[in-house]
Chain A
Amino acid sequence: MNAAHRPDDPAETRVTGRDSGPDSQQKAVLEGPDIRRALTRIAHEILERTKGGEDVVLLGIQTRGVTLAERLAGALNEVEGRPVPWGSLDVTMYRDDLRLRPARAIRRTELPQGGIEDRVVVLVDDVLFSGRTVRAALDALNELGRPRAVQLAVLVDRGHRELPIRADYVGKNLPTSTRETVKVLLAENDGRDAVLLGPKEEK
């Protein structure tokens, strides 16, 4: 790989002009091409770790995890020339922090044809932080079937785990302070691709 195009290249992750204005305190740590390369790499890692990815089912955690799961399925298809089933998982009803905030709208849980029974489920999410979303996802999975194995792919791991959970595939390890926020923007949801790091919004 050409060193100049490494995803970690600071030249590609500096503050860009588009982030001025209301987002001026936010710094883009990943841009569109970085996200694309990270997903391609994760796709290869999945194929390597699961020996060709035959039994793999991708389950995106609502909302942006679903977009990422769809993109990963596309990347896997490109490499292996074979469609990989993917679906969506909403974990709201399984969260342990529901009572800390007003009740939130719930979103669709949709399993691909064939379900998850005896498959290798790769959970996909945008940011891994406390690990509580993943814990809720594991509980939700319990109700849907018994996969042979469950793995976790995230675009960004920002640290500060509160539970013994780690990701199997990581797009970028991003050391952060708890006083910062990490926001993932995806073209399908937000109009453009980027990972933004900024100070926590004052309440």
Chain B
Amino acid sequence: MKRHLISAADLTRDDALLVLDTAEELARATEGSMKKLPTLRGRTVVNLFFEDSTRTRISFEAAAKRLSADVINFSAKGSSVSKGESLKDTALTLEAMGADGVVIRHGASGAPHRLANWVKGSVVNAGDGTHEHPTQALLDAFTMRRRLGDLEGRKVTIVGDILHSRVARSNVLLLNTLGAEVTVVAPPTLLPVAIDTWPAEVSYDLDAVLPKSDVVMMLRVQHERMNASYFPTVREYSRRYGLDAERMARMADHAIVMHPGPMNRGVEIAAEVADSVRSTIVEQVANGVSARMAVLYLLLGGSEPAIGKEVSQS
């Protein structure tokens, strides 16, 4: 049975808790002296990156290497993709090399799902277009749990460019699975059409939601995906939806500020907020490695994957 992690919705509540618990033990083990574990020795993980990425690619690479897997990095630039090779032909090439796991980042929503039909190994979605980024949601949930404890009933507010955000979609799905209450806050132009089908509340007023939130997650304004004017000026966006020190002061004492990175300092988040003690932004990077180690271990460590979902042939 071949299972993959393509959507945060592929994880049941038990799966998600298993990943978080595993990540916790791995984080403790690697904080101490257990820097490298022999668990995935002899397994090959291919990092297939068709889109630019620093932290996600490095994070997956570090995670695989700490589990002693062989890592092959592939980026579209400087490869045959720039000569016009199709995703399927690239996949078949990788298949011939015997990849046990394929981590894919692609600009097209749905690419990891297609890939899952073409390769024998487990596919991990590392971000596809504006669709999903499940391991980001896992590391975010892991970060929240380390700071706040159990997520059941916690109020999480996700602010900003929901329309283009795969992080938002994956987070809403996973947090809902884990029993948290999610509110998305954005100008109406930056909300997807089907937002009413998401398991989340919607608000246009950040100041009304802030004091009730345990977690405030700021999203990057994705200029590179914006082909139209979604708001009049960056300054106006920043004034209504940016998190500055004054707004942060109105948050509850225990509440934390998250950002998946990379940040536009001064746009969605002020520098003093990003660098404050409430901010988990640096922790999120470290936690990312633990969460991805957990995912790779649970997918590739045993005789068959312990988490994820099968993909129907199409």
Contacts of B303 in A (CB 8 A): 99-102
The reply to whether B297 and A108 form a contact with Cβ atoms under 8 Å apart is: no
Instruction: Give the CA-CA distance A93 to B38 in the complex, in Å.
Output: 7
Give the distance to chain A from B257, nearest Cβ to Cβ, in Å.
Answer: 30
Given the interface pairs A93-B39, A106-B26, A109-B28, the reply to whether A98 lies near B302 with Cβ below 8 Å is yes
The yes or no answer to B304 lying at the interface (CB within 8 A) is: yes
Stretch at the interface among B29-37, B80-88, B241-249: B29-37
Chain B interface, >50% SS class: loop
Q: Which A152-182 residues have C-beta < 8 A from chain B?
A: none
Given the interface pairs A98-B302, A144-B33, the reply to whether A105 lies near B39 with Cβ below 8 Å is no
Given the interface pairs A94-B38, A144-B34, the reply to whether A105 lies near B305 with Cβ below 8 Å is no
Instruction: Give the CA-CA distance A108 to B34 in the complex, in Å.
Output: 13
The yes or no answer to B89 lying at the interface (CB within 8 A) is: no
Instruction: Give the CA-CA distance A74 to B304 in the complex, in Å.
Output: 41
Interface size class of A (residues with CB under 8 A): 20 to 34
Q: What sequence of 0s and 1s flags, for each residue 82-95 of chain A, a beta carbon within 8 Å of any chain B beta carbon?
A: 00000000100110
The yes or no answer to B152 lying at the interface (CB within 8 A) is: no
Contact of B305 among A98, A103, A109, A145 (CB under 8 A): A103
The reply to whether A103 and B25 form a contact with Cβ atoms under 8 Å apart is: no
Contact of B18 among A105, A108, A109 (CB under 8 A): A105
The yes or no answer to A188 lying at the interface (CB within 8 A) is: no
Contacts of B279 in A (CB 8 A): none
Contact of A139 among B26, B38, B297, B300 (CB under 8 A): B38
Chain A interface, >50% SS class: loop
Give the distance to chain A from B160, nearest Cβ to Cβ, in Å.
Answer: 35
Q: What sequence of 0s and 1s flags, for each residue 62-101 of chain A, a beta carbon within 8 Å of any chain B beta carbon?
A: 0000000000000000000000000000100110001111
Give the distance to chain A from B144, nearest Cβ to Cβ, in Å.
Answer: 21
The reply to whether B301 and A90 form a contact with Cβ atoms under 8 Å apart is: no
Give the distance to chain A from B228, nearest Cβ to Cβ, in Å.
Answer: 45
Contacts of A98 in B (CB 8 A): 39, 301-302
The reply to whether A109 and B25 form a contact with Cβ atoms under 8 Å apart is: yes
Contacts of B304 in A (CB 8 A): 102
The reply to whether B22 and A109 form a contact with Cβ atoms under 8 Å apart is: no
Contacts of A104 in B (CB 8 A): 302, 306
**Which residues in B have some Cβ–Cβ distance to A below 8 Å?**
18, 21-22, 25-26, 28-29, 32-39, 67, 297-306
**Which residues in A have some Cβ–Cβ distance to B below 8 Å?**
90, 93-94, 98-109, 111, 139-140, 143-145
Can you give 28 contacting A-B residue pairs, CB < 8 Å?
A93-B29, A93-B37, A93-B38, A93-B39, A94-B37, A98-B39, A98-B301, A99-B301, A99-B303, A102-B302, A102-B304, A102-B306, A103-B298, A103-B299, A103-B300, A103-B301, A103-B305, A106-B25, A106-B297, A107-B25, A108-B25, A108-B28, A109-B25, A109-B29, A109-B34, A111-B32, A144-B32, A144-B34
